Chains A and B, each alone.
Chain A
Amino acid sequence: MNAVFKQRRARVGWMTLVLAGLFLMAVLRLIVLVEFDGPRLVSLAKSEHTGETELAAVRGPIVDRNGEPLALSAETRSVYARPAAVFDTTTARERASLAAALGLRPRELEAKLAKPAPFVWLVRRVSPARARAAEALGIEGVGALSEYKRFYPESNLAAAVVGLAGMDGQGLSGLELEYNRLIRGEPVELSFYHDALGHPIFDSPFALRTPEPGAQLKLTIDSSIESLAETELASEVQQSGAKRGAAIVLDPFTGEVLAMANVSAQPDSVHDRLHNAAVQDAFEPGSTMKGILASVALSDGAISLNKQIYCEEGHWTIDRRTIHDDSRHGWLDLAGIIEVSSNIGAAKIALGLGANRYYDGMRAFGIGLRTGIDLPAEASGLIMKPSTWRAIDLANHGFGQGVAVTPIELATAYAAIANGGLIVRPYVVAAAYDAQGNVILRHTPQVMRRAISPEVAHQVNLLLRNVVNGPNGTAHRAKVDGFIVAGKTGTAQMVNPAGGYYQNRHVCSFVGFLPADDPRLLILVVLYDVGHGHFGGLYAAPVFSEIASGAVRDLNIAPVDGHYDVAGMIPVPGLGKAGKELDEAAAPDSGDEIPALTGVGSPATPNFSGMSLRRALAVARKIGVTPQVNGGGYVVAQEPAPGAPLSHADIRLTLAPVQGDEPEARARLVTAGAAVPGGAL
């Protein structure tokens, strides 16, 4: 018995020690756990216990230059639920009445509540009345918060400029994106401790601070001009069968964008807000580039105003490629080339200028460079490096082929011609005001650089007037009553991504400004993907005219003159405008038909003077004579004199280059590597 007692005492003793040892192990394990995993566990605890919610601020309005709203925010209520609480406290019937109050089907509501989340939105952005109806049911775990809904009161006015803001009040495109930080205001981020079911532990941290409302953006856009531009552009897109169009109205001196319209043949309210072709799409400008070419060539001295260039009667082959003009011309000076938009003339000027100098000149105009306009995702045009250009490339670039520009780039370049040679940075936002009305941002005109001298700008300004007003000008439809308009048309075949150009898809454009003597408005109109015909003057110029007519009324720009002042024009030798008889005989644009002769009734010798050889021969053939020809160029003398009785046998025509410096120009063309046909046919 004693032995048993002793053994038990010993065993109890051992057991006590073992158990105490186990307690000690527990202590050690606890220390190890807290010591080694502590920081990780603490941060886990923090992330688990901390909830964050953001109270969105009211997004600031966007208004035009006159305060007309383009984007506003309205208060809406969003109803949320804490599913666990709702399920704990409601019957299916109560939930059905909640669904009814929210305008949901009961099954939809159950599906939303079935999510394993502490917090779910039941409906977002509903009217305050509907949210009140839901809250009035007094269901625990259901509540509503204010959210703001963006809406655009002028429906799609300046849609691509204003852009789009998403559900959660973040800017997605346009100014909503570019100025998001200003517009969105200061949301209040609340962090609070909550239990595992999502209940905040401390009462109502919501009252701590109210969100700071977003800034108001005041634009340079003028709603009425914008609206006019969009309407006119849309109707022309319809009529011309273009896929889409873009128009920009700038103040050429300040760079303020008065209107920026983007129109699609198939409007899409979301896509139209996301994409702004006027700053995001580059296109081949075609002949509108000739105004830039003229400016560069004049400031370079590569050409003078009175220099004559032979325009090859409409077909000219260099590098085994043929350049075509829309109409046949012989000798033209710069003014004539611009007026009739001769590709051959432009090509020769470009060749005379040389690749590097033309490239530098275009870069000075900002071609291939972003303008820095305050809109997101601005694209730049594209010019290849001049070292890669062959002669044909240089020639093509002269009339705007193989070069890409964005509409805003082209408008800014022409603004420099209009304003005396300065490249200004275009801008859309004039100022931003905080909720108290303090100015927090103001944009002032910013000159980037000088592209050309004021003198050259003035010369080109005069040249561009001929395009609209000259008898052979390509853009008579751009005329605006009471104003002198200067501008340039452009038509280019669209680039086929597969290589080459589409034969029947064109980009037609017109860029111009008025009043020409004191430009207040610069307007660019671009029509993309015009299927048939291909004259910029036919499609884009009338849009220009309509926008300009409305804009001058809106801006109260006084008419300068009811009629075009012929004396202000640069005389163009070789193009009939001084005398009517010459005009008729020489008008190259009048098509295939050979003009009627003077004094047809009694056969008399026609007046050949000023005619190119080809034309003179055609006229002679018509009356059944074969003239003897001496020299090359244009007819400078004839025998017998005009009007004299027609002698079928012997009409002698003497031809000569009209201007004395022609050989020199031809020599330069030769050195530039272009094949120049001989003067004599």
Chain B
Amino acid sequence: MRNAVTYFKSWFGRFDAVGYRRPDPWLWLPAAALILFGLLMVLNTTYFLGLAKTGDAFHFFKLHLAHIAAGFVVLAILSQFSLTGLRRLVMPLAIGSVAMLMAVYVPHLGLVRGGARRWLKLGPIVLEPSEVVKVALIFFLADFLARRQDRLRDFVSGPGTAFAVVGALAIILLKQPDFGSTVMISVILFVMLYAAGAEAKHLGAAGAIALVGLVVQMFAKSYRMRRLTAFLDPWQVARGAGFQLIQSFIALGAGGLRGVGLGAGRQKMFYLPQSHTDFIFAVVGEEFGIIGACAVIALFCMILFRGMRIAHDEPDPFASLLAVGLTALLSLQALINMAVVIGMIPTKGLPLPFLSYGGTSIMMAMAALGALLALGRRPAVR
């Protein structure tokens, strides 16, 4: 038995590797603050929804708590991983996530909500594979780019292959459709390629091509077009496509500088659709004002700085690129979500990490944080 545990430990790497330090409190404290605050906001925004849909005001809160508990287990385990252990996760994650992504198309397993085939139903558990895919892709790219460090200046063997992999994923994701995740993995790819040292001209050319693809995708689906026009002038379509954005603005405007106070917001009472998921930041703005919203932004900035510090200090390419990818995932997803809420970019359908309700989303955010914490414990990082 003892041998089995020892073997298990060794497979993941050195659990208590020599020289590893405690997890960085400046990384996990802001995340913990966001999660706790998120608990409050989820309770706050799902109270009436739960009452209306299930009769139990705490229905969604309880689920959220369960997700966080599960996420914490993942986080705690991952934070103990050595670099070797993390690197051993690359292939299982890649294969597993792609399998999950494909399983969405299997009848009875795939779940369609709001016209999108995006969820996987395994008994009582509902998973969103695209959330897993993002983390898995970061692991994969970190490993792939670290291996090909010296061949990155060659487009075909370096960035080109990465583009092919991500392009294939993007096609699958667009089919669901999940435009937000597609954008997300594309941006992550560029960030990691850039950090790994790819040629700027390659990135520029690929970026231009990706932009063209983006525009084509934009025009391909009429609802994306409507979202775009609604974003450009939400007031003109206040009753239609611009409705959600206007309700978001109303929440932020009603909040003003200091907010109307915890629980006193009204926009969550069915005025603002998705107030507990993609638009939770608007409720933060309504109840805690600009001050509260800025505090949330500041916490994400701390995560950004601490995560990027690991990437900056880490000499190991895999560890560094993994840190870049995971930090970029958390902060970019937060940025894009907030930018949608405040009307800077068209609606995407991305949750706010740590705050939004959503099982897979919060679990994967905590997993990413756990991996980041593990990287931050390495002796190389000061």
Contacts and interface: CB of A to CB of B under 8 A. Distances in A.
Interface stretch (A40-48, A324-332, A382-390, A543-551): A40-48
B269 A195 contact: yes
Given A20-B304, A34-B257, A195-B270, A41 B335 contact: no
A40 B252 CA distance: 12
Contacts of A34: 252-253, 255-257, 285, 289-290
Nearest to A25: B344
B308 A12 contact: yes
Contact of B195 (A12, A23, A45, A49): A12
Interface stretch (B168-176, B204-212, B293-301, B354-362): B293-301
Interface residues of A, number: 37
B270 A9 contact: no
Contact of A22 (B149, B197, B335): B335
A15 B195 contact: yes
B249 A41 contact: yes
Contacts of B339: 22, 26, 29
A19 B267 contact: no
Nearest to A32: B342
Given A23-B297, A195-B48, A195-B271, A42 B254 contact: yes
Contact of A8 (B305, B320, B332, B344): B320
B304 A19 contact: yes
Interface string A30-69: 1101100110111011001100000000000000000000
A664 interface: no
Contacts of B267: 45
Interface string B318-338: 001000100010011001001
B18 interface: no
Nearest to A17: B308
Contacts of A41: 249-250, 252-254
B194 interface: yes
B191 interface: yes
A24 to B, nearest CB: 9
Contacts of A5: 315
Contacts of A197: 52, 270
B147 to A, nearest CB: 13
A193 interface: yes
A38 B271 contact: no
Interface string A195-228: 1110001000000000000000000000000000
Contacts of B375: none
A31 B344 CA distance: 13
B312 interface: yes
Interface in B22-54: 48, 52
B300 A23 contact: yes
Interface string B300-311: 110011001001
A503 B253 CA distance: 75
A196 B191 contact: no
Nearest to A41: B253
B347 to A, nearest CB: 16
A287 to B, nearest CB: 68
B334 to A, nearest CB: 8
A49 B304 contact: no
Interface string B232-257: 00000000000000100111111111
A31 B290 contact: yes
A19 B335 contact: yes
Contacts of A20: 301, 304-305
Contact of A45 (B250, B257, B300): B250
Nearest to B304: A19
Contact of B196 (A8, A9, A16, A23): A8
Contacts of A49: 266, 271
B343 interface: yes
B96 interface: no
A29 B166 CA distance: 32
A27 B271 contact: no
A45 B197 contact: no
Contacts of B331: 19, 23
A681 interface: no
Nearest to B149: A4
A15 B324 contact: yes
A123 B194 CA distance: 68
Contacts of B177: none
Contacts of B246: 44
A7 B290 contact: no
A601 interface: no
A16 B256 CA distance: 29
A449 interface: no
A42 B253 CA distance: 6
A45 to B, nearest CB: 4
A168 interface: no
Contact of B266 (A9, A22, A29, A201): A201
B304 A193 contact: no
Given A30-B290, A33-B253, A41-B249, A12 B312 contact: yes
B278 to A, nearest CB: 15
A23 B252 contact: no
A49 B260 CA distance: 14
Contact of B304 (A23, A25, A27): A23
Given A33-B343, A34-B253, A26 B191 contact: no
A13 interface: yes
A11 interface: yes
A26 B297 contact: yes
A33 B300 CA distance: 21
A565 interface: no
Contacts of B304: 16, 19-20, 23
Interface string A461-483: 00000000000000000000000
B317 interface: yes
B332 A19 contact: yes
B305 A26 contact: no
Given A29-B344, A33-B342, A34-B290, A44 B250 contact: yes
A15 B249 contact: no
B250 A48 contact: yes
A12 B320 contact: yes
Contact of B197 (A4, A25, A37, A48): A4
A649 B282 CA distance: 125
A88 interface: yes
Given A5-B315, A29-B342, A16 B308 contact: yes
B285 A38 contact: no
Given A41-B249, A42-B253, A197-B270, A30 B315 contact: no
Nearest to B344: A29
Contacts of A201: 266, 269
B252 A33 contact: yes
A566 B317 CA distance: 136
A40 B312 CA distance: 45
B27 to A, nearest CB: 14
A9 B149 CA distance: 14
A23 B320 CA distance: 23
A5 B290 CA distance: 39
Contacts of A9: 312
B229 to A, nearest CB: 19
Contacts of A29: 339, 342-344
A533 B269 CA distance: 76
B308 A45 contact: no
A193 B297 contact: no
Contacts of A11: 194-195, 197
Nearest to B272: A196
Contact of B191 (A4, A7, A15, A25): A15
5 contacts: A19-B335, A23-B301, A26-B342, A37-B249, A42-B254
Given A31-B290, A40-B253, 15 more contacts: A8-B311, A11-B194, A12-B312, A26-B297, A26-B335, A26-B342, A26-B344, A29-B342, A33-B253, A34-B289, A38-B253, A44-B250, A195-B266, A195-B269, A195-B271
Interface of A: 4-5, 7-9, 11-13, 15-16, 19-20, 22-23, 25-27, 29-31, 33-34, 37-38, 40-42, 44-45, 48-49, 88, 193, 195-197, 201
